Amino acid sequence: MSPLAALFPDGDYRFHLTLRRGEPADFFRPRDRSGRVCTERARWLVENPERYAALRPEDEPLLQEVAEMAERDWQVRRATTVRGLGETLEPDFLLLSPDETGAFRLRGGALCFPTGWALEEKIGHTLDFIHGVVPGLNSALASPIQQFLGKLKPGVAFLRDNWGITANGELNQHPARALPPPTLPVALDRLWLRVEHQALVALPRTGGVLFGIRIALHRLDEVAKEPAAREGLRRALTSMPAEVAAYKRLDAVRDAVVALL
């Protein structure tokens, strides 16, 4: 199955905790020969460092553990600050660790290409709180996610993907930019399938978790050329619950997009 078609598992739309095993280095190692990704990352981090990077002083050991891993295993130069590592690594990265009850909380990271959320609003909060805005996610997956993170095996990257549809090919969808959602009339060559490739890696020394995100953008007219991906997307959009379509800012256009697929 092609990677695009694999985004849309058989059956109606649902949230799932399907994870594949991979090598952390394969995910985090630089692969953008043009250098454009890191140039854009640096631009956002210079323009507004507080918006795109954060870490509380007491959580520095999480950063140190990742910076050492990055230098040793991913062939990137040593960084000493969260902003520095944010300019060096191509993926966005978030650092989590358990609180005294064992619940995983977001401690910091560098997030230059957010999919509609603001790091500063989520820092210090639990995953349940962070996922609270996604309709139906916690009731379906909160406890499997917590369990999974609690027994994450070191040395492996656990990979998963989220997808959405945007009306522009911008990597940075920070809410402060107020980029408009897709609107009618729609055309496949003016919409993008936005894929978040995600990796979860255990940090054995600190007991934390590294969460990496790489964004890929595919214009929908290109996606539609692949029959299995086209059919998978059509089925996912058709069967998605109304409140999930609204959360994904697709409620105004989904029928029109389905009609074009």
Which residues in this chain contact ligand HEM in the complex, by CB under 6 A?
15, 17, 94, 96, 106, 116-117, 122, 127, 130-131, 133-134, 137, 141, 145, 148, 162, 164, 200, 211, 248
Would you say 89 or 96 has its CB closer to ligand HEM? 96
Phi-psi region of 102 (alpha: psi -120 to 50; beta: other; left: phi over 0): left
Would you say 189 or 243 has its CB closer to ligand HEM? 243
Residue whose pair of structure tokens reads 């255990």 in the numeric block: 202
Would you say 230 or 248 has its CB closer to ligand HEM? 248
User: What are the strands, taking DSSP E only, across the chain?
Assistant: 20-22, 53-55, 92-98, 104-110, 157-166, 192-203, 208-219
**Can you tell me the distance from the alpha carbon of 176 to that of 171, in angstroms, rounded to the nearest whole number?**
14
**How many Cβ atoms from other residues are within 10 Å of residue 251's Cβ?**
16
Give the neighbor-by-neighbor strand order of the sheet with 92-98: 20-22, 157-166, 192-203, 208-219, 92-98, 104-110, 53-55
**Can you tell me the distance from the alpha carbon of 242 to that of 167, in angstroms, rounded to the nearest whole number?**
19
Are the beta carbons of 81 and 133 closer than 8 angstroms?
A: no
Minimum CB separation from ligand HEM for residue 131, in Å?
A: 6
Closest CA to 191 of 208, 158, 166: 166
Minimum CB separation from ligand HEM for residue 35, in Å?
A: 27
What Cα–Cα distance (Å) separates residue 75 from each residue in 68, 112, 198? 10, 21, 20
